Structure formats: C-alpha cells, structure tokens
Chain A
Amino acid sequence: MLNILDIIRLAFNALRERRLRSALTILGIAIGPAAMVAIIGTTEGYMDTIVSQLQALGQNTVVIFPSKNYRLGDYDVDRLKVLPTVESITPFFQSRGQLRKPDGSTVIVTIYALDLNLLNKIIVGAKIAEGSIPPPTLYTSSVVGNDIVTTKSGVKYYNVGDSLTVYVAEMKDNKLVLKTVSVRISGILSPYGTVFPVNPDASIFLPLQAGKSLLGLKDYSGIFIIAKSAELVDSLVNDIKNMYGDNVDIVSLKEIAKTVTNIINVLNNLLFTVSSISFAVAFTGIMSTMFTSVVERTREIGIFKALGYSSNDILILFLFESILMTIVGVVVGITSGVVGSYFIAYRPLRLVGSWTVISEPKITVWLILRALSLSLLVGIAGGILPAWKASKMVPVEALRYE
C-alpha cells in the first residue's frame, strides 16, 4: 500500500504539470458548491426572517376582512366574541394617509383605529417606549410607530404631546378628496421592524371610535380575533368559515407562516435541483479531463507498472488526482458561495408594499456538508471510470504506446 503523503505528492505533481487544464476543471467543480451555498444560504436566511416576522405577529391571531359586498359591523363582533375558542376580539378601521414631516419630506402612513389595549396581543412584543396608551374616549390621541417621530438617520423631531397633521384620502360623492386629520401623540412605540401585514413603525394607532368620528369610515375594515391558544386557531378558522362562508376572507398568521414555509421549502428544493445541474457539469468536466490525462499518460502507466506499481496503485493515484481537484474546487466553491450569499443578502428583498426583508444568509454546517459531500461524490464518480481504465491497461501495450 502506498503512503498517503506520497500519493498526494504524486497526484499534485501530475496536476501541476497540466496547470491550465487542472485550473479550469477546478473552476468547473467550484461552480456547484458555490451556487448551492450562495442560493440556498440566502433563501434559508430569508425564510428564517420571514417566518420569524410572521410569528412575531402572534400565532393566535386571526384577521377577517369583508369580501364581495359584505359589510362588517358590531353584529359580527357580537357573533364572533361568543365563540368558545375566542379570547379577545377587536374590530378595526384602516386607512392610508400622508404625513408631512417638519423637514418637508412626506411619508405614507397606515392608520388603524382599534381597541388599543389589544395592541400588544395583535403585534406581539410591541412596547410603548414613551407616553401611554390613550383611553378609548380620547379618539384624537394616538400611539405612533417609531418611524413617524424620527428621521431616517434617527433624529427625533416629535415628542409625546405633539400634534401630527395627516392627509387622509376619503371618498365623498364618488370622488376622492383629501381630508386633514390632526392627532395628538399619546404614546410612541419602540422600533419594531417591518412585519406582514402590519408595519408598526410606520403606523398610527387610534382608539376604535376614531374610525368613525375622525376618519369618517362607516364599516369596519376587518376584525382582529385572538384565539385562546395557537392550537385552537384551526378550529376558530373552521367556525368562522361555517358562519360566513365566502362573505369574509380569513387570514390566519399561523397558516401564512406554514404556507410561506412550504413555499420556501419547495423553492429550496427547486434551487437545490438547479444547482445540482452544476454538479453534473463538474462530473463531465472531471471525467473528460481525467480521460484525456489517462490517454496522454498511457506510456507513463506502463512505466509505473514495470516499476512494480499494481493496478490498484494506478487506480488510487489517478483517483486521487480527481479527488485533489475536487477538494480544491470545493474549498474555492464554498468560500465563494459564502461571500456570494452575503453579497446577495446585503440587498433588501422587497416583498409586498413596504414589507422589505433584510436578512443574513443562513450558512449551516449541514449546508456546507451537503455541498462538500455532493462535490466529493461527483469528484469520485467522475474520476473512477478513467482511473479504472488506467489501472486495467496491459503494461506491455502501455509501454509500446506512442
């Protein structure tokens, strides 16, 4: 049995002799793991962020929106709150407005009017950083998100007690008109980060009464329902479906998280398949390089056999050349994949409206091992046939090869 260090040295010398061909083959090998690590690392990073954002909104939360011509009112709230699976419930009004900041810039804000006492249940983890939640009767007082009171650079220019003027679009006589709404800041939320479907940082939360009195809306935009536990969400959704049929659209955040996870898993499998094609290219590259090498070195194989090297020794020496190229290719590929994934993930992924995801790529040991093992498998599979052909050469014929 040959010494492993000698095998590596002989294989390295043989590869060094054909520098350009070896380098090109290594490049071909590197593409597979690079694509796999970069693409899957990035999508898994996004998946984690998206799912954790959805989970942040509360797995117990179900939102219903009216569909077709159905109008949601107090009657619906009364019907729903008696369901055994419901812990708490609040209807809400939703509107969009434009806020002109003191520096002259304008931002689009979302205005919600709802039971503010349920705010931290609907948006799990939302905290009042300053001030307090206003009482339900003070419908011109609000809790505002952090982006409302600060500039992009973080400079704060609104404080608790200040007033905001927001231009809200309103339908009047079938015409869209802009209405000026003034609200007082009663509480300011801590920075939260964008989550779907609510962006707390760019929202103004008013007491429920403000929907009608201040925003001029007649029907509820939707109803937030908090189930007693996450396990009861499916049962709650079924009850609502039985009660309303197609009259309402039901959004269960638990379902969304599950669906998003499923979609991303399918996407991941698809990307894995696509990146596997690069491995097939590497396989043919290694095989072609090694077959050429075997033919070119036929006489050398004969010399080795005359000097006492067995067929197994020849097989190992040639196989090691492809393994060595694969190892270098994998190191180059995984390194470029990691760098590439950070480069891709560095750019924000815009999903819906203002829902933008910025995520770190998820480079796991499992992902690295998967890329490594697949590459080695490809390296060995691509090298074994040429190595076997080399080992089976008849020494006398090999020595006579011109």
Chain B
Amino acid sequence: MVDEVIKLVNVSKVYISSGGVKTWALRDINLVVYRGDFISIMGPSGHGKTTLLYVMGTLERPTTGKVFINGVDTTTLSDEELSKLRNKEIGFIFQQYNLINRMTIEENIELPLIKLGIPREKRRKMIEEAMLKSGCEFSWLNKRPTQLSGGQQQRVAIARALVTNPRILLCDEPTGALDSKSAEVVLNTLKKLNELGHTVIIVTHDPNVASIAKKMIFIRDGTIIGEKVLQ
C-alpha cells in the first residue's frame, strides 16, 4: 500500500455546459501509480489526457469516484488541505511553462517555498539545488522568463516543480512547445529525476516522447483502452 503513490478508483469526470449538455471527459478510470513509476499517457487531443492528469494532481475534483494520493482520499479534503498536498507532494510542468513573466527566475522558483513556509534565508539554497537538478544556470536567477529561450524556461519550470522535493511530477505535454534539441534536454532531465526517485507522469500525443517512459497508458474517449510496459 505504501508504494501506491496515486490510486484512482472508478473516477469519472463530467462537464455540463450552460445549455445543460453533458460531456464525459473521463469514464470509470481505475489506475494505480507506484512509487518510482515513469508513465506516459497517450491519446488523441480532446480525449481526456489532461483532465486525467489534473484529476491526479487534485487540480480538478472527479464527478464520481475516489482519488487517493499516498493513501489519502483526496475527494474528502478541503481546499486548504488539497493545496497543502499539491504544494508538498506534487510538481506540475506545463506545455507553456506557465512562468510568471513579471517575476525573476528566482522569484518564480521561490513561489512554492513561500507557501510551504520555508524561512527566507533557507530558500536560496533550495532554489539552487532545484536548478542544479533541472539543468538551469545560476546566471538566470535575476533574469525574467522572457529573457530565456523556450527550453531554458521549461527547465526553470521543472526547477520550480522540484523545489519542494515532491514525490510526484505531473507533466502536461512538457515538450510540446520546444524544438527537438530542447525537448531532448527536457526529457533527459525528467528521466534523470525519475532515476532519483521521483514518480513522473507525462501526458503527450507524441509517441517518441511517450517512449522514454517505463509504461504507456492509452486513453480514448475518456477511457483507458490499454497499457504497455516498455522497460
């Protein structure tokens, strides 16, 4: 049980439009993610990959079913408890990096530490450690995201996701906006982080990206239609 980092039981997600039309984004998903897993979720656009990632990351509550993180049923947690869980246990990496352009790189990476309540004098060391792990250069610290290339920004985003040392890294098309060289660097970084013990889950529609994972999950129309163990 301890090794079950994420467990989804009969999870469904339904969106209801203002006109009352129901759209099933996820249907009866059952999935267990173990500590140290490296999973890629594959499927066509609009078939529920990102929704599944957000439900696993507690950014989205399921309409029905249960989501367990480290054995805790997150569907019963309050907003404050879910926030703490995300802050400490889950790191998000997005396709568009989602760095805040008005802040420096240091301030961007510092954000999760502020929420975690880490004293200011200890933050710099933690930021530098995360930057080292994600392949960032310290000379970027005082730069703004717009002064960096896409690949560099994504490495900063990884550093921000890593800074609280979360067990789970959830990546939504992390190489989608990158050229092939930058994508390779980012994927190698994720692979290395998995080797360091982080559980990594990548959503992608690119088979080359998906192939670096240990396990592939195929999703269509909100349902898991197959799995493939690669390593």
| Interface residues, chain A, with chain B CB atoms under 8 Å away | 1-3, 5-6, 10, 13-14, 17, 299-300, 302-313, 395-396, 399
Contacts and interface: CB of A to CB of B under 8 A. Distances in A.
Contacts of B7: none
A313 B98 contact: no
B152 to A, nearest CB: 18
Given A313-B83, A395-B59, A396-B54, A308 B102 contact: no
Contacts of A313: 83, 115
A17 B102 contact: yes
> Closest 7 interchain pairs by CB?
A308-B87, A310-B83, A17-B102, A308-B86, A395-B59, A306-B92, A6-B114
A307 B100 contact: no
B84 interface: yes
B107 A308 contact: no
B102 A14 contact: yes
B59 A308 contact: no
Contacts of B160: 307
Given A307-B111, A308-B84, A310-B79, 20 more contacts: A1-B117, A6-B120, A13-B103, A300-B100, A305-B59, A305-B86, A306-B57, A307-B86, A308-B83, A308-B87, A308-B116, A309-B83, A309-B87, A310-B83, A311-B80, A312-B80, A395-B60, A396-B59, A399-B94, A399-B98
B86 to A, nearest CB: 4
A299 B87 contact: no
B62 interface: no
A290 B79 CA distance: 23
B147 to A, nearest CB: 16
A3 B117 contact: yes
A305 B59 CA distance: 8
Contacts of B115: 2, 307-309, 313
B36 interface: no
Nearest to B107: A13
Nearest to A300: B100
A338 to B, nearest CB: 35
Nearest to B166: A308
Contacts of B83: 305, 308-311, 313
B155 interface: no
A307 B112 contact: yes
Contacts of B120: 5-6
Interface in B62-109: 79-80, 82-88, 92, 94, 98, 100, 102-103, 107
Contacts of A312: 79-80
B80 A310 contact: yes
A17 B104 CA distance: 12
5 contacts: A2-B115, A311-B83, A312-B80, A313-B115, A399-B98
Contacts of B92: 306-307
B59 A306 contact: yes
Nearest to B119: A3
B103 A299 contact: no
Contacts of B60: 395-396
Contacts of A1: 117
A38 to B, nearest CB: 36
A10 B120 CA distance: 14
A305 B164 CA distance: 15
B79 A311 contact: yes
A143 B102 CA distance: 78
Of B54, B59, B80, B164, most A-chain CB atoms within 10 Å:
B59
Contacts of B85: 308
A137 B40 CA distance: 120
Of A10, A312, A396, most B-chain CB atoms within 10 Å:
A396
B114 A303 contact: no
Contacts of A310: 79-80, 82-84
A115 B195 CA distance: 111
A308 B112 contact: yes
A303 B98 contact: yes
Contacts of A303: 98, 100
Contacts of A300: 100
A400 to B, nearest CB: 9
A113 B107 CA distance: 84
A295 to B, nearest CB: 16
A300 B145 CA distance: 14
Contacts of B94: 306, 399
Contacts of A395: 54, 59-60
Of B57, B98, B116, most A-chain CB atoms within 10 Å:
B98
A308 B89 CA distance: 10
B114 A10 contact: yes
A14 B112 CA distance: 17
A308 B94 CA distance: 15
A214 to B, nearest CB: 86
A337 B107 CA distance: 38
